[in-house]
Amino acid sequence: MDPGLLQAIWTLVALTAFLAVVAWAWSARAKRNFDAAARLPLDEDREPDEPARGSDHD
């Protein structure tokens, strides 16, 4: 096989993988997950034994 052909095939494989990652990152499902992860540092820290806020257990 010609080295130029192998390079062309590898370039197409890499481009396809890149476009797949971009499509996944811009999908609505990924956006919800990214938004939730972005809010994590802003959430109040609580002790592991402490119930979550809004809990009816007093």
Give the domain ranges of the chain.
14-38
Predicted confidence (pLDDT) at residue 56 exceeds the cutoff of 60: no
Q: What is the pTM of this model?
A: 0.57
**Cα 2 to Cα 7, 11, 13, 52, distances in angstroms:** 9, 14, 17, 63
Q: What is the model's pLDDT at position 49?
A: 66
Predicted confidence (pLDDT) at residue 16 exceeds the cutoff of 90: yes
Q: Strand, helix or coil at 51?
A: coil
